[in-house]
Every structure is written in C-alpha cells, then in structure tokens.
A and B are shown apart, each in its own frame.
Chain A
Amino acid sequence: MTFRTWCIAGCMVVAGFVGILESGATDVFLEATRPDFQKIPLGVFGIQNSGGPEWLGGRIEEVLKADIRRSLVFSLVDLPSIGIKVRDVGPGPHPAFKQAKENGVSVLVWGKAGAKDGDKEADVSMDGFVYDGESDEIVGGKRYVGSSSVVRLMAHRFADELVFRYTGEPGIARTKIAYVSEQGTARELFVMDYDGYEPRQLTSDGFLNLMPRWSPDRRFLVFTAYRNRNTQDIDMIELATGKRWTIVSLPGLNITPALSPDGNFLAFASSHEGNSELYKLDTRTKAMQRMTTHASGDLSPSWAPSGRELAFASDRSGGPQIFLMSADGTNVRRLTFEGDYNAAPAWSPRGNWIAYVCRTPKKEYKLCLITPDGQKRVQLTAGPGVEDSPSWSPDGRHLVFSSTVDGKSQIYMINADGKDLERVTFTGTHNSAPAWSPAS
C-alpha cells in the first residue's frame, strides 16, 4: 500500500538491499560503501510552532534531523545552502517544491507542532507532511498527539515512517539499547532510546547484572545475575512490569545468554559440567542440549539471522578465537586466524558480517568485522581505548559498543563502514554491555 509511487532512488535502495541478501557470503560489501548505493536527498523545511511550548517545534525538528541522518537511507540536504529559506509551508503545494526538486532534492519534509486544541491535559500535537519530487505531489502525512513528554518519540515515529515508505523497512529511530550502568559498586540494567535519551533503570539489587540480550519481541531481557552474590544465574525480566525471575540456575558459570531469532531456543554458556560449554535450551519443551564438547572454554553464542548457525568464542586454540557451528552443535570450524585474541562475536541481522572484539598487535582491544566465510576482514576502530560488546542495529547499518577511549567506559555508536562515530552515554561512572533491541 505504501509502495504506490516509488521514486527511482527508493527502488535503487531496495534493489541494493536485496542484492546483499542474495549475494550470500561470497561477495559482500558494506552496503553504505557500495558504489551503486545512493542515499535519497531529503530536505526539512522545518517544524513550525503553533501555540505549544516555545521549544516544541525546534526540539522535534532537531530529533527528526538526527534520525534522518542516522537512517543512512536519506542524505539530509541543507536547504538554506541551496537558497531555500522557507519555513512557513502549509499543507498545500508551495513554489519552493519546484526549486528544491530542480536542485536534486527528492523528498521534502515539514510540519507544525503545538498544543492540541481544546485538550485540558495539555497534550501536544505534531503534524508532518511529505512531498515526493518524483511523483511531484504531497504524498501524505501524519498527525500525532500525546503528552509533552513523548515529543521525541513523535519525531522518532515520523522518521521511521519515512524510512518505511522509501525502503519498506521499519527504521531504527524507535529502537532501544539495553546496557549495564555502574551504580556505586553495583552494576544494574538500564534501557535507553537508541540515541541515548530517556535512560531507565530496570534492576536495583545492588550487585551485578550483566550482559543483557533482548527477546525477539522486545518484551524481555535475558541476562546474568548473582543470587546472594555466590551463585550465578541467567535471569529474565519483563520490561513492562519489572517482573524478574531465574531461568537457568546450574552450578558454576551461567553467562552470555542469547535467544534465537525465532525465540524458541536460548543458547548460553555454563560450566556445570566442568568448564564453560555452550548449551541450547528449548524454551517450549525445556529440553536442554549440549552444543560443544571441549576441554577449553566456549562462550558468547550469537545466532545467525537464519537461526541455523551460531558464532561463538572459544579458547580451544590458545587465546580466544571466533568459531562457527550449526545450531545442532555439528560442523564446528574456526573463523578467525588473525591475532591471538578474538572474542564477543555478534552476527549481523543481515547475515553478511560478524562483528567481534579483536586484539591488535599493539595489544589494543578494538572492533573488527569478518564475513562468515572468513574471506573479508576489516578492523573498524583504531587508537586507544578498550572496546567491548559490539551489538548490531536491527537494520544492520550500525553497531553500538562500549569503549574506554574517553577514560571511563561509555557507550558509542558507529556505522558498519566505520564512519560517524558517536558517543551515546555521557553520565555515570561506567556504562557497558550495550544490546540493541530488535526493530519491531
């Protein structure tokens, strides 16, 4: 229904994505660096204030522009720099459309924001409009209402609608990042918006809560916790209620839980049979299957988006290295051979890359990417700072990770092509273990 009048650029974008999905592992490129990848030029006239709080329009516009820039689907055109300085565009056609189109701007976005008429509870509203240069018409808009505390979310939602219209994908502007934040000597779970705003604390048990991972439906996190500080468990927490309970409490280590993309299996590492091995729990039958058998430590399972394979870390070759195996534990093969310390694998939601922490010859812990066939390897970050816990955005275009580059461990975002490094957390003494939520 939203695919009626496609612009050429939009079709090219989707064709590019399909190409990557079908190309398998043999001939993949970072999509944003593909020579045929063209971002769609988009200009924002502005979000005009009409009666609401003074900051309202400007706030929405700022959030919307940041979302558009991070979408990597659009390139944000600075309209004043091409001589277009219009702010008061109404719901109808405007002479500036033609001017923008002649300057190569494919999509124009504008809107207004204000107090919702006659509403006693001081709700605010946002109207957004979209002009599509290819079809030369105002293709539609959105009208949102809500409390003034959700204006960022209105902008995020509008940004995701734009991405959805031009790619058929839901966008990442409403995604969340779960992470661990130091509170005194404790480490507690938090969740924030993908851009670092709206952090919320989920646990407060005063001890260690580590390495959260999302359920496919975004309703739960699984993570490692410590019962009475002496015993390690894997717990689950429901975000809507804060209800929390233990799902795995085997003797010894219970770490690095990861739910399969279909939600039917929980992979995790446990040392209850001696050393750290990988197990797979069927979440429906509760049957547990051991996936690895080796005298060395196996940990950090990461599911391929197909659910048919997993990447994991193992020190069976000396220092930790990345290995792959089928989901039934067969067909184990080593993936990384460069360097003597490679760990914390994260399989991209598009399937074409596995991100991991690689130790460089200078003994720096940085981020690397490798294709599942091992044919291409890229070091993504460089310089000082210990990097850890890479986690992919659901669109596969970004990674979030922790780094000590600014001293204390904080959370950062980077494009999959190594560009646009952006710090996401700014407060607190230690923020780590970010996990990017699914999009849905």
Chain B
Amino acid sequence: MRATLSQWSIPMLAGLLLVTMPGCSKKSVQSGGDTQSSQSGMGKGTPGAGGTGGSGDSTGGGVSSNFPDTSLAGRDGSAGLRGLDKNPGEERVNGGTMMAKLDPSQSGRQMDEIRSEQAAADAAGLRDVFFAYDSFAISEEGRQSLSRDAEWIKSNPGAQLKIEGHCDERGTSAYNLVLGEKRAKAARNYLVELGVSANRLGVVSYGKERPFCKDHSESCYAQNRRGHVVVKTGK
C-alpha cells in the first residue's frame, strides 16, 4: 500500500475549535456549513435534556423515548449546492457547527476505576481463562483456573464479579463482540456449575477492542483470547 497523502500531519486533539457561524455578512448568501447546516434542523425534533455519558434517559423498556427525526423529509437532494452561475453571487462557506464538548475529567475517572478494579482482581488472585482460536470452549486448564476463582468467590460472599470476554485482532470487530460474549458466558456458566450464584457474575464483551497485548503474533493472540475475571468496584 502506498501513501498518497503523505505530507499532512494534523494534531489529532488540537483544540477542537468551535468553528462558530460568523455573525452574518452583509448581502452574502449563506451556503451553510458543509457538515450540519443550521437550516437542516428546521422543523425537526431535537434531542431533549439528554445529558451526556449515557445518563439514564431511557425508559423502563431499555429503549429511549428520546429519538429525533433523522429523516431526509423535505430535502431536495441537491445537498445545498446551488449550481454554477454566470454571475455568481457570493457564498459564505462555514466550517460547519460540529463542536462536541469534550470532558477530559470523565476519561481520568475511568482510568482510576480501571486501575482499582485491576488491583482488586490481582489482590484476590483471580485467574483468567484462555481460549483457542475461534472457540469459546473452556479447556481443562481453564476449568482449573475457574475452580480456583470459584473458591475465592464463595469465600468472599460480598464481592460482585465481572467476566470480560476478549478476542484477538483477527476477524471483524462486530463478530468478535459476539464471540467475546460467548466466551464470557461460557466462563460464567462454568462458575455457576461450580456453585457460584449467577447474580454475582456480570458478563460483558469487549471483543477485540481492549487487547492485553498488541503485537501481531500468535503468542500475543493467545493472551488476548480470554475470559478476564475481575472484582467489580464501580456501580
């Protein structure tokens, strides 16, 4: 593969400048931001008090009542283009209004929680279970690890556990999320067989998105195909 845009370098995080709409300019035609032109929102539903970070805006059924109209009803299909003109009027070009407000404090809080979660799992001496390529079957070695985990869990009745399903980098992101869930559930089911109450065992799939090891090698892949057993420290 060859890089054809090799010369550019962009500070990825730089600023996220709020490119605001310039007030307005004399007689010029507003061509709209080329991303989300403000007029496109006219007459459409906009999200209500949604809040950020997935704060509970959903109804009891696990589905939000807050769903804006995202259809193209009323659009003419020209995508804001006005056509060439023999006497072109002035069109103002704006940088769009994309301006997510980033809150780095949340990121820091997550990092702290992940560290304390990992520390709790290490202190408990919990063991992970590893899987073969494309497989969610628990091996004999995995059963031994889980047996030890089950002893600890039973002797620490106050602890809530989480089993994370992980995959190696091969295969698609989406299918690996399904595979990761199968792995986490297989580990949970075995712990339940060993007498651990199912309601103490949460299951979550991270697919191939949080690898333990980042090399493109089988030894690395083997480390990433795991059911990672941790003590829940957060909510």
Contacts and interface: CB of A to CB of B under 8 A. Distances in A.
B178 A297 contact: yes
A389 B79 contact: no
Contact of A230 (B47, B177, B204): B204
A146 B170 contact: no
A388 B172 contact: yes
Contact of A343 (B47, B104, B171): B171
A186 interface: yes
Contact of A239 (B35, B117, B235): B35
A276 B181 contact: yes
B94 to A, nearest CB: 7
Contacts of B81: 157, 160-161, 164, 170-171
Interface string B111-141: 1011001000000000000000010000000
Nearest to A385: B1
B70 A243 contact: no
A231 interface: yes
A421 B1 contact: yes
Contacts of B157: none
Interface stretch (A22-30, A43-51, A221-229): A221-229
Contacts of B62: 248-251, 272
B218 to A, nearest CB: 12
Contacts, number: 365
Interface stretch (B6-14, B147-155, B190-198): B6-14
Contacts of A424: 5
A304 interface: no
B70 A217 contact: yes
Contact of A141 (B52, B88, B95, B98): B88
A204 B103 CA distance: 6
A125 B64 CA distance: 45
- Tell which of A216, A253, A423 has the most Cβ of chain B within 10 Å: A253
A140 B88 contact: yes
- Tell which of B46, B67, B107, B134 has the most Cβ of chain A within 10 Å: B67
Contacts of A184: 111
Interface residues of B, number: 108
B68 to A, nearest CB: 7
Interface stretch (A31-39, A80-88, A259-267): A259-267
Interface in A170-186: 170-171, 174, 176, 181, 183-186
A195 to B, nearest CB: 7
A244 interface: yes
A219 B107 contact: no
Contacts of B156: none
A240 B40 CA distance: 11
Contact of A253 (B2, B177, B202): B177
B63 A259 contact: no
B58 A170 contact: no
A432 interface: yes
Given A243-B52, A246-B54, A216 B70 contact: yes
Given A204-B106, A276-B178, A423 B1 contact: yes
B55 interface: yes
Contacts of A190: 12
Nearest to A364: B170
A428 B205 contact: no
B71 to A, nearest CB: 4
A235 interface: yes
Contacts of B109: 206
A142 B107 contact: no
Contacts of A15: none
B229 to A, nearest CB: 13
Contacts of B24: none
B217 interface: no
B143 to A, nearest CB: 23
Contacts of B226: none
Contacts of B232: 230
A237 B99 CA distance: 11
B12 A255 contact: no
Given A240-B97, A388-B173, A259 B70 contact: yes
Contact of A181 (B12, B56, B65, B86): B12
A160 B91 CA distance: 14
B36 A239 contact: yes
A283 interface: yes
Contact of B91 (A144, A187, A200, A263): A144
A108 interface: no
Among all A-B residue pairs, the 7 with the closest Cβ atoms: A206-B107, A140-B84, A245-B50, A242-B100, A206-B110, A215-B70, A263-B71
Given A146-B92, A238-B47, 10 more contacts: A140-B83, A170-B81, A203-B100, A230-B162, A243-B50, A245-B64, A262-B71, A297-B178, A407-B216, A426-B3
